[in-house]
Amino acid sequence: MSAPRRMHLGWFMNFTRPAWTTPWVSDAEAREWTDGEYHVDWIRAMERAKLDFMMLEDSSMVSDGFRGTMDADLKHSLYAPKHDPLALAPVLARETRNIGIVVTASTSFYPPFLLARSMSTIDHLSRGRIGWNIVTSSEDRAAQNFGLDTLYEHDARYDRADEFVEVVEGLWGSWKPGALVADRATGTYVDASRVAPIHHEGRFYKVRGPLNTLPSPQGRPVYLQAGGSPRGREFAARHADAVICAAQGVPAMREFRDDVRTRAKAYGRDPDDVKVMFITLPVVAASRREAQQLFEEMQNPSETAVEISLGHMGALTEIDFSTVDPDAPLGDLQTNGHRTTLEKFTGLGGTLREATGRWATRYTNPAFVGTPDEVAAAMAEEFDEVGGDGYLITGGGSRRAIAELTDGLVGSLSDLGRVRRTYEHDLFRDNLLAF
């Protein structure tokens, strides 16, 4: 009998405060997360459980997308305060040895040269474990912090991103193998004949090059991407090493994965080199009864939880949901922001109040509720049915929640032979491609 297929696992989080309103986070910790120590403890637990990577999301604004003020965003710390994940990555790298560290950076706001240089530097500092979550951003308020009145049109952002990736890959390739010679006899540190400008002049960018950093261990970072729109899927299929998907239910999950793999093949890529990671929010507890109770609380949010959800939706879509009648059917809403997020939200049906109540449990996979052993078995069953590559865990936010998932759930998955028991390689990309 053949061994069961193994799944890749990552964890989605922010460089922000822990779940400070829960009883499992101290008052001091709610204020002192800024030194990075909380996230160091988190990634160490993940590495002990042999997860593939930690993914650090990011945004560059204080949102006023709900009721037209910043009150909800700051009161509930939704999009601020949030610190820079690129600065945290080297700290995490020094405290770990194997796990991948994925940071988010926007092609709409970063200059290509600066992004290429920063990623190359961090790949050196991590000895080949850095990844880049490629985003095009979705918020006008963020754009206004970078000299723009509004964000570029949705599909045009991906056109810019395609050229951005072309530029940074040109910069990473501007040093040829063997450029570093460190020859004491001739006094030559770098062979100049192996370093050349790229002289890129395109539709959106003009960059001379070459990059002024040495080639990094991976050559380029691992690419993650989360576009769910047709244009986003096309970008992911062309570039991404791993694609993040928020589909619900086996048919939708299978359709997404099959579509991305077909698109990747059209670009001449091996579809097996594009890992599709499904977002999941496992509800794990010591007993099924306790887990089910937590799940039911998520389905029946308090007024505070509703405000938090609508604050998030307002930031992501640039739609102020305080102006929408909470008890009227959701109509046809349009956005230049997160289109897939809005489509999934309005697709929940019913009124705004009803959709908000369903959001927490239906945006991510709602099937995984129970003890660690029960959730692990359900994940393995769905994984086999979908034919997927792995899961991106979301949630957590306290050391108890981290332990429940790393020691509990991942421990049970390990007992089933469904996750790695060791890191097979030194480089992040090689571990991602190991199975």
Whole-angstrom distance, CA of residue 425 vs CA of residue 44: 18
- In terms of phi and psi (left: phi > 0; alpha: psi -120 to 50; beta: otherwise), the region of 200 is beta
* pLDDT score recorded for residue 267: 97
Looking at 173-287, list the stretches that DSSP marks H as alpha helix, in order from N- to C-terminal side. 230-239, 250-266
Domains of the chain, CATH where assigned: 8-156+219-284+366-432 (3.20.20.30)
Structure tokens, 299: 């389905």
* pLDDT score recorded for residue 298: 81
Looking at 49-135, list the stretches that DSSP marks H as alpha helix, in order from N- to C-terminal side. 71-75, 85-94, 112-125
Print pLDDT tens along the chain (435 aa). Answer: 678 999 999 999 999 999 999 999 999 999 999 999 999 999 999 999 999 999 999 999 999 989 999 999 999 999 999 999 999 999 999 999 999 999 999 999 999 999 999 999 999 999 999 999 999 998 999 999 999 999 999 999 999 999 999 999 999 999 999 999 999 999 999 999 999 999 999 999 999 999 999 999 999 999 999 988 999 999 999 999 999 998 888 999 999 999 999 999 999 999 999 999 999 999 999 999 999 999 888 877 777 777 787 877 877 787 888 888 877 877 777 777 667 777 777 777 778 777 776 665 555 565 799 999 999 999 999 999 998 899 999 988 999 999 999 999 999 999 999 999 999 999 999 999 999
* pLDDT score recorded for residue 299: 77
Which residue bears the tokens 């290429």? 116
Please tell me the total number of residues recorded for the chain in this structure. 435
* pLDDT score recorded for residue 1: 67
Q: What is the pTM of this model?
A: 0.91
Structure tokens, 31: 């204020």
Whether residue 127 contacts residue 426, with contact meaning beta carbons closer than 8 Å, is answered with: yes
* pLDDT score recorded for residue 221: 98
Q: Is 391 strand, coil or helix?
A: strand
Contacts of 290 (CB under 8 A, 6+ apart): none
Whole-angstrom distance, CA of residue 127 vs CA of residue 132: 15
CB atoms within 10 A of CB 242: 28
CB atoms within 10 A of CB 303: 7
Q: What is the DSSP-derived secondary structure letter of residue 136? A: -
* pLDDT score recorded for residue 312: 76
Separation in Å, CA 323 to CA 313, 317, 346: 13, 14, 15
* Phi and psi angles of residue 391, each rounded to the nearest 5 degrees, phi first: -130, 150
Which residue bears the tokens 């097996």? 272
Q: What is the DSSP-derived secondary structure letter of residue 15? A: S
* Phi and psi angles of residue 11, each rounded to the nearest 5 degrees, phi first: -135, 130
